[in-house]
Amino acid sequence: MRMNEEERKLVEMVLSGRTEAFEPLVRPYRRALLALAFRLTRNLEDAKEVSQEALLRAFKYLRRCDTSRSFRNWLFQIAANAARDRARRSLGERGALEDAARDRRPDPGPETGRSEAEFRSGLMACLTALSPREREVFVLRDLEELDIKETARALGCSNISVRVHLTSARRKIRERIRREYPHLEKGR
Amino acid sequence: MTCRQAKRRIPLLAGGDLSPRRSRATQRHLVSCPDCRKELEATAAALEEARALARREPELDWSEPEWRTVLARIVSEGTPKRRAGVRRRLKPAMAASLASAVVLAGIAVVLRNSIFRPGESRPGPAIETAQVRGPGSPVIPGVEPEPASRTPKSLPAGQDVVSVTLVSEETGLQVVWFFDRNFEWKGDDK
């Protein structure tokens, strides 16, 4: 997938000094970026910081953006790197993930209440079962639907490495759903 | 294909990530193996369920003022950068070493032009003349005494070696360079 013509023009505008063009360039991806960061960090505050960091890096290094490539995927690559950097810095990542799995969701509305909490904690529990690398691969390939090649590029690893981690991630997800969420596997 | 081989490929097959050739080979096994077929169906269902969970998640978003604040901060803080050049990739230590080398080379050139000028002697603060060679003098490796007849007139009689002492203000490290009268480097001492 390539960068579309409108995005290319906006990139050129930003690079020529019209920084106001950056907002319309990234606005279409602001939710997707936040969702990706949330799935990787499993914490809303961290997700917002990772998203901000990703946007800042995207702005700073926009000149490096390859226009023959999807802008969304480039942005996701930066976000994945930012999330990894943050995870390295933060201690007790595992503990934070487990906290998140215990239904730590952002600002639940009273009317959306229980079913949303169930969905979110269900997905969190699945992702918690994965190693950081498996989680990155699974989120990018299976939830964000990047292909194997783009996933590998985003994570800076080989296609083979992506396939290996994807295989183990899918096995774990399947086991997790079968063991702890049998009602989900059967379908509601 | 054995069941073990097939089961290794099932997670990738369930997501459509197997190459066409491997996919065909695995499918052929599945036709005749109900157990592996069941495994594939369960994996595909779990995968679909995880995707469904993700789709049903309440969508996260920034509030509009929050988004505007973030963008304003990014635009004010960051400036689109040029590609990193060779100089930008130099590490600080390398840059410091390079600067030191340039300074030392500059000193060497100045000394070469001033110390051994015929008929003129201009001792500077960082320049000291070495002791006249003789018994008890420090031995400088590789420096042999020159005949008196070849000694330049500007140097004191018998002196054939000049030392330059460089002292680091930060570390206190002293480096002494020894040169002969032709400004050939003859050794150092730290």
Give residue-wise pLDDT tens across range A47-95.
899 999 999 999 998 888 888 888 898 999 999 999 988 888 775 555 5
Listed in order, strand segments (DSSP E) in chain B are 127-129, 161-167, 174-180, 185-189
Chain A residue nearest residue B44, CA to CA: A174
| Res B172: pLDDT | 78
Q: Left if phi > 0, otherwise alpha if psi is -120 to 50, otherwise beta: which for A146?
A: beta
Report the C-alpha gap between B118 and A119 in whole angstroms: 91
Averaged over A28-35, what is the pLDDT? Answer: 90
Instruction: Please classify residue A99 by burial: count the beta carbons closer than 10 Å to its beta carbon, then call 0-12 exposed, 13-18 middle and 19+ buried.
Output: middle
Could you tell me the pLDDT band of residue B180, with boundaries at 50, 70 and 90? confident
Q: How big is chain B, counted in residues? A: 190
Evaluate whether B22 touches B9 at the Cβ level (below 8 Å).
yes
Contact yes or no for A123 and B81 at CB 8 A: no
Interface-testing mutation among B57, B67, B77, B88, with chain A (most A C-beta atoms within 10 A): B57
Which among A95-99, A143-147, B132-136 has the top mean pLDDT? A143-147
Q: Is B175 helix (H, G, I), strand (E, B) or coil?
A: strand
Residues 47-106 (A) with a CB less than 8 A from some CB of B? 47-48, 52, 55-56, 59-64, 106
**Among candidates A95, A172, A92, which has minimal Cα distance to A131?**
A172
- Asked if pLDDT for residue A111 goes beyond 80, the answer is no
pLDDT digits (tens, 9 = 90+) for B28-67: 999 999 999 988 988 898 888 888 888 887 788 888 888 8
Q: Which residues of B touch A14 (CB under 8 A)?
A: 80
Q: Which residues of A touch B43 (CB under 8 A)?
A: 170-171, 174
- Asked if pLDDT for residue A166 goes beyond 90, the answer is yes
Interface-testing mutation among A14, A42, A59, A127, with chain B (most B C-beta atoms within 10 A): A59
- Asked if pLDDT for residue B190 goes beyond 80, the answer is no
| Res A138: pLDDT | 93
Report the C-alpha gap between B165 and B127 in whole angstroms: 7
End-to-end CA distance of chain B: 72
pLDDT digits (tens, 9 = 90+) for B103-147: 898 888 888 776 655 555 555 455 555 554 444 445 555 545 555
- Asked if pLDDT for residue A120 goes beyond 60, the answer is no
| Res A66: pLDDT | 84
Q: Which residues of A touch B81 (CB under 8 A)?
A: 60-61, 63
- DSSP codes joined into one string, chain A: ----HHHHHHHHHHHTT-GGGHHHHHGGGHHHHHHHHHHHH--HHHHHHHHHHHHHHHHHTGGG--TTS-HHHHHHHHHHHHHHHHHHHSS-HHHHHHHHHTT--SS--TTTHHHHHHHHHHHHHHHHTS-HHHHHHHIIIIIS---HHHHHHHHTS-HHHHHHHHHHHHHHHHHHHHHH-HHHHH--
Give the pTM: 0.60
Evaluate whether A103 touches A43 at the Cβ level (below 8 Å).
no
Count of CB pairs separated by less than 8 Å, A with B:
119
Contact yes or no for A148 and B14 at CB 8 A: no
Chain A residue nearest residue B56, CA to CA: A119
> Which of B8, B62, B80 has its CB closest to that of A62?
B80
> Which residues are CB-neighbours of B61 under 8 A, at least 6 positions away?
A30, A31, A34
| Res A70: pLDDT | 86
Averaged over A177-185, what is the pLDDT? Answer: 68
Q: Which residues of B touch A60 (CB under 8 A)?
A: 78-81
